[in-house]
Amino acid sequence: MSGFIEEKSFMLPRVALIACGCFSPPTPMHMRLFEIARDYFELRGTHKVVGGIISPTHDSYGKKGLAPALDRCAMIKLAAQSSNWIRLSDWEVHQPQWMRTKAVLQYHQNYLNNYINSPYDEEPNELLPGWLPPGLRERRDPIRLKLLCGADLLESFAVPGLWADEDIEEIVANHGLVVITRCGSNPEKFIFDSDILTKYQQNITLITNWVPNEVSSSLVRRLLTRGESVKYLLDDMVLNYIKRQGLYNVKSLDTPPEGRE
């Protein structure tokens, strides 16, 4: 029986998941999105998830509270250190300027499938990007890269001027969305209200997160700047890095209150 299951898994279409955003700082919920999505596909036996990629945005994005790219990359590496399949891609932060999400997906999608179809001895392993999942050449079939996101990104498609319609269509038609939603939300209605999303709704996977976690990067930054504890809201290694680097105007959380030893 186990041999049959392994053979069936070997034949499943392959997908990789990519999350784009600020990650300032990365929170455990950013990591959980990947785990929830992989469970959904693999427990249903519909796809084989070959890897997870985190692509932080370029410094020129200019969002308030955005730590330098070097620090965000370091924190993502620390946050993903315990994972054997979620990896950092720093390609986006090393571009000359901010890149549209569509371009980020196109680059990683093309690299994945060009790598699979290239001669085995064409590129030494030490020159391969760190985000590239292992074992891709065990099969020659293409990998589809899907954009992993929360329901807030899906809803942002409706914000006037934030997304170009052609970008939304390119992302949903050629890559697809994996949307982790909150219990009680209604993403189906949002898709119905959008002509583009309705046209390509077969490429949108909606997954309910039954264990809600409202801890966001902005909430963590707010607590840090107030000198309040964020222990257990962030990975300890990420928190220690923030303290060492003095990010987000952090106040020392290790100094005992006045009058106490």
Q: Is the pLDDT of residue 261 over 60?
A: no
In CATH, the number for domain 14-120+128-214 is 3.40.50.620
Residue 18 has pLDDT above 80, yes or no: yes
197-212 pLDDT, tens digit per residue, is 999 999 999 999 999 8
Query: Cβ–Cβ contacts within 10 Å for residue 140, how many?
Result: 9
Average the pLDDT over 147-160 and give the result.
89
Judge whether residue 252 has pLDDT over 60: no
First-to-last alpha carbon distance for the chain, in angstroms, is 63
- Residue 182, pLDDT > 90, answer no
| Confidence check: pLDDT of 237 > 90 | yes
Q: Smallest Cα–Cα separation from 110: which of 175, 164, 173?
A: 175
What's the pTM? 0.90
Which string of b and e fits 72-108 if b means at least 16 CB within 10 Å?
A: bbbbbbbbbeeeebbbbbbbbbeeeeebebbebbbbb
pLDDT at 39: 97
Give the Cα separation of 232 and 152 in Å (integer).
24
Looking at residue 5, what is its pLDDT? 46
pLDDT at residue 259, as a whole number: 38
Tell me what percent of the chain is helix, strand and coil, each rounded to the nearest 5.
Answer: 45, 15, 40
* pLDDT tens-digit map of 47-103: 999 999 999 999 999 888 899 999 999 999 999 999 999 999 999 999 999 999 999
3-class DSSP assignment, residue 115: helix
Check residue 160 and give its pLDDT.
84
Domain boundaries, the chain: 14-120+128-214
Res. 155: pLDDT tops 90: no
Would strands 177-182 and 143-150 be described as parallel, antiparallel, or unpaired? parallel
Q: Calculate what percentage of the chain has a pLDDT beyond 90.
A: 74
Total Cβ atoms within 10 A of residue 38 = 22
- Which pLDDT score is estimated for 260? 38
pLDDT band at residue 126 under the 50/70/90 scheme: low
Q: Which amino acid is at 135?
A: G
